[in-house]
Structure 1
Amino acid sequence: MKRVVLAFAIGCFGMMNAQIKFGVNGGFSSAVVSSKWDNLTQGYYVGLFSEIGIPGFAKVQPALNYVKIHDDSYIQVPVMMKFYFVPKVNIQAGPQFAFRMNDSSSSSKTNFGAAVGLGADLFSGLLIEARYAFQLNEAFKSPAGDKLPFNIFNVGLGIRF
């Protein structure tokens, strides 16, 4: 138990020395609410993010986005791990939550998913990224009661301050 507490304390101390940056992002958002890709809807997202550098080759990037797709709006909270295998290019993976702001009897208000993506740090704090999130819970159901996948694809630009 002492080793676990010591490891936790060392990890917290390391995070305190990590560099934290903040920024804004926005771009194109698209959602698929079926397994056949026949119900593709398009919209946009805007938001705020922070980026926490972890010693080595990774960063954690939690964000808070407002997503507007067709007549629906969501608060989207991705928490992405960014792994830099090539300088300025990253692979992203992590959980993503989406909270539906509109009332609908055919859906839950909370969507939980796993997201994967690719990003690049361009210049002067400018970044570009593309991310696809797969729904893991049963947020949408058809009128017959069948589960309908709700997957979101985001492509956007951001700027770090």
Structure 2
Amino acid sequence: MSNVNAQEVTFGAKAGLNMASFSGDETGGVKAKTSFHVGAVAEIAISDVFSVQPELLFSAQGAKEDGGDGEFKSNYINLPIMAKYYVAEGLSVEAGPQVGLLISAEDEDGDDFKDEMSGIDFGLNLGVGYKMESGLNFAARYNLGLSNIWDYDGIGDFSQQNAVFQISVGYFFN
């Protein structure tokens, strides 16, 4: 299947496109915001077909107002830990948890909303990837937010989560 050896560790970098939005309560007027992610990755081969891939990413997220000029920008440092199963040479299916640390949040006017948001975000990632022998790799992933991103008095039962689709290209240094 894959030509990796057990316990082999490779390091790399990745960058790509985010299509970020919110899911949950009162999201009918919300649409995806185009942004980006960039960071470092490591792949730890457990066997010829299974590996673990921790990542450290800067991810620009948020959402746009449907039919308007409103935009909400939230930036995170995300740490996904992906389990990768190689179903064919170079082709993997991936799943794993993610924890995110909120570093900034503002609207289109530059008004700061960081104090009204939860500083920690939990999510579940699902995706596919393809790694070439040269180290060049490609991935598509969906981050399903599991925790409420809002954290302020008077919020009541209101709950929204991050919802981010990512397409990335990366390179593993051999």
Normalising by structure 1, what TM-score?
0.81
Task: Indicate whether 1:30 and 2:19 are aligned.
Answer: yes
Map of 1:140 onto structure 2: 150
Runs of 5+ unmatched residues, structure 1: 1-16
1-structure distance, mates of 2:123, 2:60: 18
2-structure distance, mates of 1:111, 1:105: 14
Map of 1:158 onto structure 2: 170
2-structure distance, mates of 1:125, 1:105: 41
1-structure distance, mates of 2:23, 2:150: 9
Identity among equivalent positions (%) equals 28
Match of 1:112 among 104, 107, 122: 122
As a proportion of its length, which structure holds more helix? 1
Code of the residue aligned with 1:117 in structure 2: it is G
Report the CA distance between 1:124 and its aligned residue: 0.7
Equivalent pairs, count: 145
Residues 56-102 of structure 1 deviation map (CA, whole Å, 9 limit, x = unaligned): 41010000011123632110111000001111100000001111102
2-structure distance, mates of 1:66, 1:77: 9
> SS at the partner of 1:55?
coil
Pairwise CA RMSD: 2.0
Runs of 5+ unmatched residues, structure 2: 1-5, 63-72, 105-112
Normalising by structure 2, what TM-score?
0.76
